[in-house]
């Protein structure tokens, strides 16, 4: 028994064409405007050329009290404290895992299979904190710049405290 393949191909092509016509918004955008259909009493105004754009000149912003160098004393202290607490968190977490405990942080749990990957996780955390602080520094969000380090320090301190209590 033979099948009518040409008839099914034509029906398929017609279905695709219909779908394109229904779902294709640029086809609908070609309609005439109702404003053009109304008779106008005045002749249309001649078209004018577009105004030329003026180039933007860079402006030097004045240095305020909020502006500071990225590696100032406070940031250096915060980054050192963040690295110290991340190291303490690494040591306590590794000892907890060696004694049969389990990692509660779902992100760190992925890296808890071996000591080098766990160390890489905590080192990456510290580098990420410094990078995010630098991003906030460059965008002028100086309070957020310092808050990132403080939040990381508090999170690592809580994790160390929890691990030490659970021993």
Domain range annotation of the chain: 73-165
At 16-64, the pLDDT tens digits run 777 766 666 665 565 555 555 555 555 666 777 777 777 878 877 666 6
Is the overall model pTM greater than 0.75, yes or no?
no
Start-to-end CA span in the chain (Å) = 79
- pLDDT exceeds 60 at position 2: no
More confident residue, 14 or 114: 114
Phi, psi angles (nearest 5°) of residue 111: -95, 5
The answer to whether 132 and 61 have CB atoms below 8 angstroms apart is no
CA within 13 Å, CB half, 59: 4
- Total Cβ atoms within 10 A of residue 106: 7
Phi, psi angles (nearest 5°) of residue 106: -65, -25
Paired tokens of 143: 């309070």
- Total Cβ atoms within 10 A of residue 91: 14
Mean pLDDT over 100-107 rounds to: 88
Secondary structure of the chain: what % helix, strand, coil (to 5)? 65, 0, 35
């Amino acid at each position: 028994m033979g099948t009518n393949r040409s008839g099914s191909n034509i029906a398929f092509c017609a279905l695709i064409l219909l779908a394109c016509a229904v779902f294709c918004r640029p086809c609908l955008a070609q309609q005439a405007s109702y404003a053009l259909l109304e008779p106008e009493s005045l002749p249309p105004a001649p078209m004018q050329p577009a105004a030329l754009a003026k180039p933007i000149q860079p402006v030097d912003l004045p240095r305020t009290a909020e502006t500071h160098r990225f590696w100032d004393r406070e940031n250096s202290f915060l980054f050192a404290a963040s690295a110290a607490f991340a190291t303490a968190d690494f040591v306590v977490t590794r000892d907890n895992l060696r004694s049969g405990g389990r990692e509660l942080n779902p992100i760190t749990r992925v890296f808890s299979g071996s000591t080098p990957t766990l160390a890489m996780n905590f080192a990456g955390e510290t580098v990420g904190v410094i990078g995010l602080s630098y991003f906030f520094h460059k965008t002028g969000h100086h309070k957020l710049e310092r808050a990132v380090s403080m939040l990381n320090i508090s999170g690592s301190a809580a994790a160390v405290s929890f691990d030490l209590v659970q021993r």
